[in-house]
Amino acid sequence: MLAGPQSDECVILIKAQPHRSSQYFETVCCAGVGRDQKWRRQYPVPFRLLKDEQKFARWEWISYDFVRPKDDKRSESQKVISKSLTAKGRMKSAERADFLAPLVRGSLSEADERRESLTLIRPRSIRLEAQLKSQQELESETLKHKALADQLSLLEEDEVVEPLKPCRMQFVLHWQDQDRCSHRQECDDWETVAAFNRFDREYGESRAVSFLKEKYEDQYFKAGIVLGLSTHSRRNIENNTKNQWLLVGLIRLNETTQSSLF
């Protein structure tokens, strides 16, 4: 007998860019940490179809109902009932570092050993690269997003859903972990793309890239940054393959302020 919906809540740390899905149209993979300091992965979240009062940002507590997915063996994964999503306010900045300290790892190897499918890693070094997509890539993405928006508008009946405009930049992070292993990964963090688009509108492409590099490589790195990573839904150890880790969050986070009691 299958269990019915369950209720849960977490503070959101990860919002990946919206992706096309043949089953769910346009969805966002989100992830956060519950009050028990354990990971939760919420999917699929049709973010642009949520009501304004349901929409949430990083560091916001949300509550929701979910069922266990049939096609995802990762223990952190939850199939969210989107109409149940409720935004409940932001976590205070002063609470974040100590709350998340038990989840920060030194390397992907450590996360693999712990059999995790979501992790935070504090890097030794980072370098953000912006690669201009080809015109063919942009045209293909634009057409597919328009088709999705048309489908979403049909579902919503009286509401016209604007197509998502793809970012013309692909961001790539070059980073080194605490084991001094070097990594190169495409960045799927929605906030990074949104920041570039905002800077681009105000200052133009070249300065936007410079501002973004300064934000992450200088300001965030010196103040404290962790990388949020998730395993691929099909390429992971629960499916008897090596974990493929995806970079889905560049997160400003202080070092912990907790001191030993002994």
Per-residue confidence (pLDDT) for residue 200, from 0 to 100: 96
Low-confidence ranges of the chain (pLDDT < 70): 1-3, 20-25, 152-159, 257-262
The string of DSSP letters for the chain reads -----EEEEEEEEEEBPPEEETTTEEEEEEEEE-TTS-EEEEEEE-GGGS-GGG---TTEEEEEEEE--SS---TTEEEEEEEEEEEEEEPPHHHHHHHHGGGEES-HHHHHHTT-SEEEE--SEEEEEEEEPPHHHHHHHHHHHHHHHHHHHHHHSS-PPPPPPPPSEEEEEEEE-TT--EEEEEB-BHHHHHHHHHHHHHH-HHHHHHHHHIIIIIIIHHH-EEEEEEE-SSSSGGGTS---EEEEEEEE-PPP------
Per-residue confidence (pLDDT) for residue 93, from 0 to 100: 95
Per-residue pLDDT tens over the stretch 111-157: 999 999 999 999 999 999 999 999 999 998 888 878 777 776 666 65
Q: Which CATH class is domain 7-95?
A: mainly beta
In the chain, where the domains are located: 7-95, 138-164
